[in-house]
Structure formats: C-alpha cells, structure tokens
Copies of this chain bind each other. A is one copy, B any other.
Amino acid sequence: MKEIKIVEEIRKLAGKPGKGIIAGIGDDCAVLKYAGNKYLLWAADMLIQGTHFDIKNAGYEKIGRKAIAVNISDIAAMGGIPKYVTVSLGLPPKRSLNTVRALYRGIDRICKEYGIEVIGGDVNRSLKLVIDVSIIGIVEKKRLLRRSGANKGDLILVTGPVRNGRKEHLDFVPRLKEARFLSGRFRITSMIDVSDGIAPDMGRICAESRTGCRVYADSIPLSKGLTLEDALYFGESFELLFTMPVVEANRLFRSMRSGRGDLKYFIIGEVTGENTGLRLIQKEGRSTALKMKAFRHF
C-alpha cells in the first residue's frame, strides 16, 4: 500500500482539526497557536535502516546528520525557523558507545550549525537502527507557508539545479536560507520540500490547493548526472517546490538581477484548474500524466 493512501486514510480517521490547530495532517508541519505574532511548527520524521539508509555506505555520523536535516527541511518548507528537537533511537543490541557517539556527533554538528537544541529523547532496543526526530520551530504568522494556497495562473518554481537524491541524500543542505528569503520578501502561495520527487510532491500541492498543474520537462534544472525520471519520481533532493503569482516571480527575478538574491530559483511550470489534472509537457509539446507514485528508496 502506498504511503499517500495511508496518510489519506489516517486523515479521514482523524477528522477535522480543532481550535488551537492552524494546520494538521497534510502539510510538512502541524501548525499550532503560539504567543504574539508567531505560530508553533511541529513535525516528526523517521529514518529506518534499510529504508532510508544503508549503514555500511553511510556511516553513523552522516545518518545522525540526515535525521536532523530532513526535519529542518520540513520547518523550512513552512517558512519557519527550527528551534528544538527530540531524538528517539531504536538501537540494535550490539551497538557500542562509539556508535552512539558517532550518531550524536552528526546530530550535534548540524544542530549547532542551525542554532537548534536537542532537548529530549528516548533510547530503545531494535533489530534495525531507527531514528525518529521530532522538531519544533516558530514562524511569524505572516510568513507561514502551506501546501494549500496555490491558485490557477501561479507559476511553479523549484530551487536548484535539483540535487541528485541517490547520491546526495546524506549530505544535502536544507534550503532554510532560501525559504526564509522567500517567505520574508515575496508572496509565496504554496510550498513543499521535495522528499519523494517533483511529481508526487507537486501532486500534494495540487491536491491541497484543488488545482491542476503543467510542468515543462525541459525546464527542470538537473544537477550533473541526475535523470529527469529521478528528479520527477525519486526525490530525496529536499529542494523547495513552490508557487507564486507571475508578478511576484518577476519581483523575485528582478531582485536576483540586482544582486540581492542568487541564481537558484527556476520556473518549471504553471498552476492550472483542477480538471486539467497533473500534466508533464515534453519538449515536443506532447503531454503525459505526472504520476503520484514515487520510487521506493534504497
């Protein structure tokens, strides 16, 4: 069964969010009321040995780093600033103190780099290594970005060149700086981080916004060695995928020309009405369906 179907199922079972909850299931973070002009952002992301990483290839330090990085990416995608994490470990019985130290070294370094504090956790025995990180961040109410605000006619953009998720998934730099730049200066109508591929993640924006989309195959900026197929369906690039009105995109690109931004934003398509569906436009103009499915990782 697909993750998307399971999440849909859970959402049906969970019902409508209550008061105090600005956003629940269906965004990268849950959004809760908080003090002053701010909201609290809250997310959890689990990494499992064999599903998200292979210990031999990765090494514990990089795994620790990635467990935090994917959570920072969730906060970034909502326009916010990461603040605190708790780390729950499932640790195979024979692992040594050195394993824990290496894992924690990876966790500690990236946390220091982003000004995040580790404030809790839990250690358990497990056959396979499991790291589940829960993160809390804050976001100014005005800067909150969600998946649900895309409008017909908006442009679709991605940060890039899109990284190669197969090669860089352990070392990626979460696009926090870019997300804060965008959320502070421009009217962004929706945003998500690309964990499963541009196609399914764009599909999520369209589902939440009740729109369709047209993505132009040859406009997707591929990093060296990345295939279009992987950019669309493999994911693990953790690029930001977002939408904004044309007039705002013009402001963004003007700000880049004047040197205050940089050259990492690319237009890859446009938001359409819901009944267009999700379309991929090939170079020669032929249109095919963008699928919601993602490759299984590793």
Contact = CB atoms under 8 A, between A and B. Distances in A.
A51 B124 contact: yes
A9 B127 contact: no
A40 B43 CA distance: 16
Contact of A84 (B21, B51, B121): B21
A51 B91 CA distance: 11
Interface in A122-146: 122-128, 130, 132, 134, 136
A130 B46 contact: yes
Contact of A119 (B25, B83, B91, B119): B25
Determine the interface band of chain A, counting residues with CB < 8 A from chain B: 35 or more
B97 A29 contact: no
A100 interface: yes
Contacts of A29: 120
Contact of A121 (B1, B20, B44, B122): B44
A24 B48 CA distance: 25
Q: Which of A32, A45, A122 has the most CB of B within 10 A?
A: A122
B119 A30 contact: yes
Nearest to A94: B1
A35 B32 contact: no
A210 interface: no
Contacts of A108: 13-14
A117 interface: yes
Q: Which of A17, A42, A52, A101 has the most CB of B within 10 A?
A: A42
24 contacts: A1-B97, A1-B100, A6-B97, A6-B123, A9-B97, A10-B104, A10-B121, A14-B108, A14-B118, A17-B119, A20-B83, A21-B117, A42-B84, A44-B120, A44-B122, A45-B88, A45-B122, A46-B88, A48-B124, A48-B130, A86-B134, A125-B296, A126-B128, A127-B127
Given A6-B123, A46-B90, 8 more contacts: A1-B95, A10-B87, A32-B136, A34-B35, A44-B120, A46-B88, A48-B90, A51-B90
Interface of A: 1, 3, 5-7, 9-10, 13-14, 17-18, 20-21, 24-25, 29-30, 32, 34-35, 40, 42-46, 48, 50-52, 83-84, 86-91, 95-97, 100-101, 104-105, 108, 117-128, 130, 132, 134, 136, 296
